[in-house]
Amino acid sequence: MESKIMAAPKPNEEEIAAVEDLRKCIFQFTELAIVRCVIELGIPDFIETRPNGTVTLAELSSASGCSPDFLHRIMRFLTHRGIFKVVGIDGGDSSIVYAHTPFSRLLTKDRMAPLVLFFSSPELVNSKLSFSKVLASNKTETNAFKAVHGVDFGTYMVANPSFNELVAKSMSCLGGSNISSVIEHYPAAFEGIGCLVDVGGSDGTALRKLVKAYPSIVRAINFDLPQVVALSPGGDDRIERIGGDMFVEVPRGDAILLMSVLHDWSDEVCVKILKNCKKSIPKETGKVIIVEIVVDHGNLKNTFEGFHLGLDMEMLALSFNGKERNAKQWGDLLKSAGFSKHTIKYIPAPVSVIEAYP
């Protein structure tokens, strides 16, 4: 009887890769939820306070009040993903020793924890879960946030002080990181400015960094909604807090900073904001400094493209026709607002610096 050995079919490498990518996609939300969990439990901050920067599972369990078995499984998940690291094992699970990685150190409350808590908040998560319903409605005057919560993002903030505080802290986080990148990689943007107005300055984090880096700034104005600037701490005589409405009038200054403001709004609204800013700077020497994402981020596009496009989805959820823009779209906005010229400075950071001149 003749027998024949059949060769195993050659695996389809593209299909194998696709399955693995799908698995990663499925558990991305789980990863964010677990990162949020350890922030809420105070684990990153507890490790940060340790004299030698290490902690056993037993110590973590005692400090957080968590079951050691459950906590072991949480930390195993996170160390597998490189978010924390294991630096020693002496005996059983309770003697596993953990330490920070550069990633987990960012999860402390004075670094990027507020940003994680904001983007993983029930308000934002539930909004994004309604994407399909909102998009299928084909209505331009609504968004996912309003569809879920019944009011727009700004109105919800006013009615919910704890959420308003979370937003302020997260924007302070993001703004502080972005302005530090600008100071480091493009210091010329703010050189020689005497009076700087930060429109949408939130709690004043950016201005505090700027007045420290630039002695020439003798007066800085943190301009935002009254309930927002009310959360801004004092401590620097050069920084003045003014509550108001950028759609009506903007305080006068030698230069105006707009950082992560315009992406929240439609083109028509942005033009209105920009025109108000243009009215408030000297015609011959003034400028508007826009620190925002530029989707086609020069030669660095591939480095930040995922972040840019991900944030564009957040804009789709939270805003009415807000979006992340490319270089041409920024140019069209500034031309419509009456600016005579502008430059775009790409830096090794998620944001770029756009300087617009009257």
What is the DSSP secondary-structure string of 10-55? Answer: PP-HHHHHHHHHHHHHHTHHHHHHHHHHHHHHTHHHHHHHSTTSEE
Phi, psi for residue 30 in degrees, rounded to 5:
-60, -45
Cα separations (Å) of 80 from 53, 74, 99, 100? 19, 10, 13, 13
Determine contact, residues 329/313, Cβ cutoff 8 Å: no
Q: The tokens of 59 are what?
A: 């110590």
**How buried is 269 (Cβ within 10 angstroms: 0-12 exposed, 13-18 middle, 19+ buried)?**
middle
Determine contact, residues 67/34, Cβ cutoff 8 Å: no
> Which one is catalytic: 72, 263, 308, 342?
263
Q: Are strands 287-292 and 255-259 parallel, antiparallel or unpaired?
A: parallel
Determine contact, residues 172/203, Cβ cutoff 8 Å: yes
**How buried is 148 (Cβ within 10 angstroms: 0-12 exposed, 13-18 middle, 19+ buried)?**
buried
Residue 61 belongs to what H/E stretch? Answer: helix 57-64
Determine contact, residues 47/106, Cβ cutoff 8 Å: no
Phi, psi for residue 273 in degrees, rounded to 5:
-60, -45
Q: Which are the contacts of 312, defined by CB distance < 8 A and separation ≥ 6?
A: 295, 323, 324
Phi, psi for residue 240 in degrees, rounded to 5:
-110, 135
80 is catalytic: no
**3-class secondary structure, 80:** helix
The catalytic residue positions are: 263
